[in-house]
Structure 1
């Protein structure tokens, strides 16, 4: 999976403006997750994002993962500097840090049980479709990977 993380965006892809405006409105994601020594499973979420008066993003996602009951995931993200964002996410055990690197955004956060997540979101063909690549590590070793697509369905 490490090699996939250095892939650049396809030629002709429009860069994402910023992760806040991309997730404003209705979004939908689908993909697969592969956990070490387990079969891959499908993941799907539908999100509704809103930009507040202070410019921060509030995103609520309905998450559907194969073999698990539906869940709700909540994000609160704010811009702190050009290309840098911080916030919270209901599944995270600490802050979420987002950095713009080139035309993509790297999300980093920790989960319970000493799991560290690195997630890359970058444009595919236009500013309404993005690729989502995820690596989950424990003590520096990759224990899970994810690959998916995020679509902006409706503006905010």
Structure 2
């Protein structure tokens, strides 16, 4: 009887965990789907925070993005301004694939990033090479963007190592004119 109860509890736990995952197919098509080529063309400013696995806010930042596209190829030049004074850069090179999927590379990304969209949502998955205290760690990034309107996008990113979430990053993008910038 004890084995039965243990197996039943494990089954319930597995069902609970699997029912909590989000799939891109959960988002229905909408009249005007999220078009990252259109949204990330020109200047965009975003504000964000990094939270540890305990939900404590560890860092806050602002990022200025300049996007440009030629056909199906795009560049997103990002400048991050952290609350502790650090400034860092990332330059994404993106290629739009059939059906609106995207492939991307950046200086601190290992391999190829893969992006997909459905309706108002866009999912971007990649391996980030994160440098901390002189060491580099490869982190799995599961990046979700949700378009609220033509000017605003919310981004939630789960950062994990060996399948265990170690941090969460939240950003709020704003493209409404007049464009604001991060203050240095």
Partner of 2:171: 148
Q: CA offsets per residue over residues 94-144 of structure 1, 9 Å max, x none?
A: 2111011332000100012231001111111x1111010110010000000
Unaligned runs of 5+ in 2: 1-19, 130-136, 178-184
How many pairs are equivalent? 148
User: Shift of the alpha carbon at 1:13?
Assistant: 10
- What TM-score comes out, normalization by structure 1 length? 0.82
Matched, 1:66 2:83: yes
Change (3 A) 1:117 1:103: same
Q: How far apart, in 2, do the equivalents of 1:55 and 1:114 lie?
A: 28
Q: Choose between structure 1 and 2 for higher RCO, CA contacts under 8 A separated by at least 6 residues.
A: 1
Q: How far apart, in 1, do the equivalents of 2:82 and 2:31 lie?
A: 29
- What TM-score comes out, normalization by structure 2 length? 0.70
Structure with higher Rg: it is 2
Matched, 1:42 2:60: yes
Find 1:87's aligned residue among 101, 104, 107: 104
Unaligned runs of 5+ in 1: none
Q: How far apart, in 2, do the equivalents of 1:147 and 1:71 lie?
A: 17
Q: How far apart, in 2, do the equivalents of 1:131 and 1:19 lie?
A: 13
Q: Is the 8 A contact 1:15 1:127 kept in 2?
A: no
Write 1 or 2 for the structure with the bigger share of helix: 2
RMSD: 2.7
Matched, 1:29 2:46: yes
Q: How far apart, in 2, do the equivalents of 1:140 and 1:51 lie?
A: 34
Change (3 A) 1:15 1:128: farther
